[in-house]
Chain A
């Protein structure tokens, strides 16, 4: 296999694919990137067996073929080369010679036969939607997904399709984000699946503002096609819990709050809390929200902000990081916080379909 390609094109392809390459893996082939030629294009594929990424770049192919080369070394080398043409020749022993200007490198590859198969998704996608919309949906939900949990369904994003809409739900057991958007799909199609957060994180890096994303489903894998890029992920084999049952129907207290002010007030109160596991207390009284916190090692804080609210006065404890995460992902000037009592979830919502639940924390004894 021989080809000549622009350094910039190679860098952009390798950049996308090298993120999921295992730094240490028992399978040395997984440290490699599969490079194939296809009608005037190079196709790069990497996989860690859970997630695979494939992307293309233009090249002048003088001899078609395929090989696998160590992804990290190849990326490091190409990145250092001067702008311009990069000439790559790979012999039958999978030894690659890389030339650019005065620089010459030789890299030892592995036969493409050893590279695990990464699914191709041909035919009609399950659904399509603008990349921009999915990106927005992911931004508002992925932060709530657990990064590690023995309950595997909590470490993935729930995709549910029905009535021409896609619903995304992410939760880590103490908070939950839900959002929906219309999609182009086969009429009457209903279904759902859970995509691991590791794949979602990669998808968020790859997804852009323009064009559509086409989503495929086949067996226990999902594919996300973004232009010529493809991300393939194994699905989490679990049933997503009945989350709808936990969404309170009506709140006893409904407060309208200025989002930025609310976030700033929480941040100030949280200054005296020393750890992630700490809580801030929200105390709603007539037209005022008092946010207070205290930690035995640091001290106390008490900050007041105006709040429009209806219902009986109520005090409730929340993790300040959770509060700020949700406030930061929203764009509205005013947000709504609905509360039932001090042990039921708080519901944060804005203008669209977005909904966020936060479970309260127990307030220290003796405090109301």
Chain B
């Protein structure tokens, strides 16, 4: 059956123009998307020399008729859209009719394909964009595309390809990303005759997660699912104790298409704001499902960027979804667990290569697309059955005070074993929530000072201080101008009495300047965090009752497991772990 048509110039001109194939990984991406669009359930990718010398992608999808296979080589030939209006509600991964011609023009290219009900298949060979021959061949239903000597006729491109290892790592990451989004599809990746990934079909998302990311990593994930205004945000939030120095561990999908999306990264970052340290990135697998009309995929020639009609709303929905899950989960890290010895389970050459060459930028070279396939529906139901998931979702318990260590840590126990609490971090967390609570009701208590403190600031800072005076007042600091660049602090929050006021004001100013461009609610949080930090002093000898009170307040906090700056407030050593160490097990 012939399905492909060439788009009219009118429609073709509306498609984001530019370079489609930049490197072997982007060629693999395009071919993968075609296979997924063709409703394949088995996909095998084979590459040699990082894809530089050979790429083949075999699927068991719909296949193409002889006419279609030839037409597919033409620019703007596609079976996926017809009119300009289709561009506004794209439901397939491909839609431009650009991928095959682009790859075929820069390589020695062939398609072997057979339609499902056809008796005989077609072999089409193209060299540097020129049709070489078309012959009939036998092939089981499906399509194999082979790409040899990519960029052989574009020396400038070829010269700038990265090392075999780097290109292979990029392809591995890419196949991983798609494999995660399509657990119902069998994926196999072979590099230089070595199998790198074999992911059998499954209807259990967490099985696929374990296959792709490693079992240990997968077990740390906290599943979430949140729906609002018809938008579904679901996926798996990494444990805050497992972080990376870049965003490569964050896989984002919009309608099952892997994407690079600043607003979504931002939402993930915000959800972990007080849970991970600055400059560290948690792991996350996030799927956003949204009606196709509300998202524009036609932004960038490589399709990796998306534009939401209502970016802030999406961002907030994701933020709420992940934050809620994190709040409910027991996040205290276990300090004898393996993750502290080896942060991520290494999977093989590529994963190692990837760790070595981790790009500081974005999650790799993919851009994808979603299929309208049925497996998406079945997967959608997955996270509902959270109870079956092996993830840690225990509710929190209360802590019993044992002793204080080195005037800095509180030793306590819960039903699982020993808990070590960083009293400084715990105190910060408690104060932070107290102030945030107070702010909700208008303002926090303030204790007036008998001996007001004067603080001198720079003229720039004096402006910032004036700008923030009302907010400071609400959290309990009453600060009044007292001459050109001098301010007088007349009241402080009661818990701050022993704090270093001058330092607090300066820290506050730094935080205020750094968070200038944030939204109000975000900026306020940053400022409150800075105030809490200044209020708390390390090395406090505490009485037993004080320790107990702190523990109780900590455990009734909303997010007891981390301080507002994202460091853990407590670590656990379960009895099991202790027994193991004493070789009793």
Contacts and interface: CB of A to CB of B under 8 A. Distances in A.
A277 B450 contact: no
B451 interface: yes
B450 A357 contact: yes
A150 B445 contact: no
Contacts of B483: none
A277 B494 contact: yes
Interface string B484-495: 000000110111
A150 to B, nearest CB: 4
A279 B493 CA distance: 12
Contacts of B494: 276-278, 319, 361
B445 A359 contact: no
B141 to A, nearest CB: 68
B447 interface: yes
A241 B449 CA distance: 13
B447 A150 contact: no
B447 A246 contact: no
A174 B447 contact: yes
Given A172-B497, A277-B493, A361 B450 contact: no
A364 B445 CA distance: 7
B344 interface: no
A361 B451 contact: no
Given A149-B498, A319-B494, A366-B442, A360 B448 contact: yes
B259 to A, nearest CB: 43
B149 interface: no
A361 B446 contact: yes
Nearest to A144: B450
Interface in A330-368: 343, 345, 357, 359-362, 364-366
Contacts of A176: 450
A153 to B, nearest CB: 9
B441 interface: yes
A171 interface: yes
Interface in A138-156: 146, 148-150
A362 B450 contact: no
Contact of B447 (A171, A361, A366): A361
Interface string B440-477: 01110111111100000000000000000000000010
Given A146-B498, A277-B495, A171 B451 contact: yes
Residue of B443, B445, B495, B499 contacting most chain A CB atoms (<10 Å):
B445
Nearest to A317: B445
Given A172-B497, A276-B494, A345 B450 contact: yes
A173 interface: yes
Interface residues of B, number: 25
Given A364-B443, A365-B442, A359 B449 contact: yes
B339 to A, nearest CB: 34
B541 to A, nearest CB: 10
A170 to B, nearest CB: 12
A173 B497 contact: yes
A241 B450 CA distance: 11
A175 interface: yes
B500 interface: yes
Nearest to B503: A150
Nearest to B499: A150
Interface string A166-194: 00000111111000000000000000000
Residue of B447, B490, B540 contacting most chain A CB atoms (<10 Å):
B447
B445 A278 contact: yes
Given A279-B445, A296-B441, A362-B445, A246 B450 contact: yes
B451 A343 contact: no
B437 to A, nearest CB: 8
A243 B537 CA distance: 27
Interface in B411-439: 437
Nearest to B549: A275
A187 B248 CA distance: 80
Nearest to B437: A296
A246 B451 contact: yes
Contacts of A362: 443, 445-448, 476, 478, 491
Contact of B450 (A171, A296, A319): A171
A173 B449 contact: yes
Contacts of B441: 296, 364-365
Contacts of A172: 497
A276 B493 CA distance: 12
Interface string A68-98: 0000000000000000000000000000000
Residue of A277, A278, A357, A366 contacting most chain B CB atoms (<10 Å):
A277
Given A148-B498, A277-B495, A359 B448 contact: yes
Interface of B: 437, 441-443, 445-451, 476, 478, 490-491, 493-495, 497-500, 503, 537, 540
Interface of A: 146, 148-150, 171-176, 241, 243, 246, 276-279, 296, 319, 343, 345, 357, 359-362, 364-366
CB-CB nearest 3 A-B residue pairs: A277-B494, A362-B446, A365-B442
9 contacts: A148-B498, A150-B500, A173-B449, A173-B450, A173-B451, A176-B450, A277-B445, A361-B446, A365-B441
